[in-house]
Structure 1
């Protein structure tokens, strides 16, 4: 299938961002930026949940309740992600677990509300308590979103509300804006995750 020229650069950016993040999380190597591969150890569970400062938001056991400044734990199951009706200011520092779980949830949710059955409900989403499971779930969610993108007809690119994802401004945006926004989510949270991995090696052990 030929990718439409309007979608192609965004899809190329998306592929680069997801692959860069996955290599930074799971290894065995990642591009240093100049083409030189750098060895990357797989992320441990301790690193996944590491809280570098007091008051971090994270993914945590539901029985322990939400963290400092959070009002609830998003989702279902034994573990959930810290959240509040309105995020506090300044924003809390968040763990790798929080950032990766947030990305996975938005990818799955947006895919469901764009090209899926539109049944995704954040209240039923289950967070991953371990690093390996979280990385694999992100990998799967990234593939699901990519498939949804390729399923959109070019004639719908400029139609408002093509995505009905209820946890953002998607319904008020055109398709390519939805794609751009999800890309920047991966780019900026991916950068934050990379920095946290660097800090963990030096401070967290």
Structure 2
């Protein structure tokens, strides 16, 4: 195991990836699209999606609702403001109004739990896929393609996994070549959704690992629930 910053992040990512691949073995189409409760977010045929901002370049789109800042992210918004980011820039990063950011910054007392939709395995994989594909494009690629148009979502679980692991492996290979100077470079990633352009790249990598781990944990739980459904 590496003890330098990049080595630790890569080792963590590799461990999470290995466990995730084992947990995803045998995923079938029905389980991949399973909606355990009503009103789940998933992938749907274009024209059948009911969410406000469903997106994708092909026949299938990924559900996405109206933009907001969930309570679990209030501390992150406060950090952005404390670091000197303007309210207008925070609002742009979160795709919300300035008034909404001001409400979040004015909040006091306990933060209520998030009330977010339950999402299917297909949604969670699609979310990770376009995030890592876009992350590669805006850090190591041409920095021009919209991440939301880079992944052709599919109801075929095997095909989705094949494409997903290819994107993950390309990201991992590129990250392995990052220098110490690049780790500390603010804006090394220009990913257009979120705060990447304002963060050192080491923070972006840390956040990417966290995103991968927590969504794969959710997928693992959904697989367990699928096995015991009914």
The TM-score, its normalising length taken from structure 2, stands at 0.75
Higher helix share: 2
Q: Do residues 100 (structure 1) and 81 (structure 2) align?
A: no
The whole-number CA distance in structure 2 between the counterparts of 1:187 and 1:79 is: 25
| Equivalent-residue separation in structure 2 for 1:5 and 1:137 (angstroms) | 31
Are 2:9 and 2:206, in contact at CA under 8 Å, matched by a contact in 1? yes
- The equivalent residue for 1:21 is 20
Query: CA offsets, 1:11-68, max 9 Å, x none?
Result: 0000111121111112xxxxxxxxxxxxxxx1110100000001100011113123xx
Give unpaired runs (5+ residues) of structure 2: 71-113
Distance in 1 of aligned mates of 2:154 and 2:167: 13
* Count of equivalent residues: 184
Runs (5+) with no aligned partner, structure 1: 27-41
Displacement, 1:115?
1.0
Q: How does 1:18-167 map to 2 (within 5 A)?
A: 18-26=17-25, 42-66=26-50, 70-87=51-68, 90-125=115-150, 126-167=152-193
Instruction: Say which structure is richer in strand.
Output: 1
Q: Distance in 2 between matches of 1:158 and 1:202?
A: 46
State yes or no: 1:185 paired with 2:184: no
Q: Offset at 1:4?
A: 8.3
- 1:75: how far off? 1.4
Structure with max Cα Rg: 2
In 2, the alpha carbon distance for the partners of 1:201 and 1:123 equals 32
SS at match of 2:54: strand
Q: Do 1:59 and 1:80's aligned partners in 2 also have CA atoms closer than 8 Å?
A: yes
Mean Cα deviation higher: 126-135 or 187-196: 126-135
Provide closer, same or farther for how the CA distance between residues 64 and 86 of structure 1 changes in structure 2, counting only shifts above 3 A: same
**Residue matched to 2:75:** none
Tell me how far 1:123 sits from its aligned partner: 4.2
Return the alpha-carbon distance in structure 2 between the equivalents of residues 16 and 120 of structure 1.
Answer: 30
Report the equivalent of 1:11: 10
Deviation at 1:124? 2.1
CA shift for structure 1 position 153 = 2.3
